[in-house]
Amino acid sequence: MTKMIQTMRWFGEKDPVSLSDIRQAGCTGVVTALHQVPNGAIWEIKDILHRKSLVEKAGLKWSVVESLPVSEAIKTQSADLQLHIENYKQSIRNLAHCDIRVVTYNFMPLLDWTRTDLNYKVADGSIALRFEMAALVAFDLYILKRVGAEKDYDAKTIQRAKHRFERMSDDDIKLLQKNILLGLPGSEESFTIEQLRTALATYDGIDRLKMQQHLLYFLQQIIPVAESCGVNMVIHPDDPPFSVLGLPRVLSNAADMAFLAAAVPSLHNGLCFCTGSFGVNLTNNLPAMVRQFGDRIHFIHLRNTTRNANGDFFEDNHLEGDADMYLVVSEIVKVMKQQKRSIPMRPDHGHQMLDDLKKTTYPGYSAIGRLRGLAELRGLELAIIRNMH
Average confidence (pLDDT) over 23-36? 97
Digit-coded pLDDT (tens) for 193-247:
888 899 899 999 999 999 999 999 999 999 999 999 999 999 999 999 999 999 9
Domain boundaries, the chain: 5-113+204-388, 117-199
Pairing mode, strands 232-236 and 127-131 = unpaired
Question: How do residues 303-327 score in pLDDT, each as one tens digit?
Answer: 999 999 999 999 999 999 999 999 9
What pLDDT digit, counting tens, does each position of 140-183 carry?
999 999 999 999 999 999 999 999 999 999 999 999 999 998 75
Decide: 249 and 107 in contact? Cβ < 8 Å.
no
**CB burial class (10 A; 0-12, 13-18, 19+) of residue 232?**
buried
Q: Tell me the H-state helices in 32-143.
A: 45-57, 72-76, 81-97, 133-138
What's the half-sphere exposure (Cβ side, CA atoms, 13 Å) at 167?
8
Residues belonging to the active site: 236, 274, 301, 348-349, 365
Query: DSSP states of 50-68 as a string?
Result: HHHHHHHHTT-EEEEEE--
User: What gap in Å lies between CA 203 and CA 180, rounded to an integer?
Assistant: 18
Q: What is the DSSP annotation of 266-290? A: -TTEEEEEEHHHHHTSTT--HHHHH
Which CATH fold would you assign to the domain 5-113+204-388?
Answer: TIM Barrel (3.20.20)
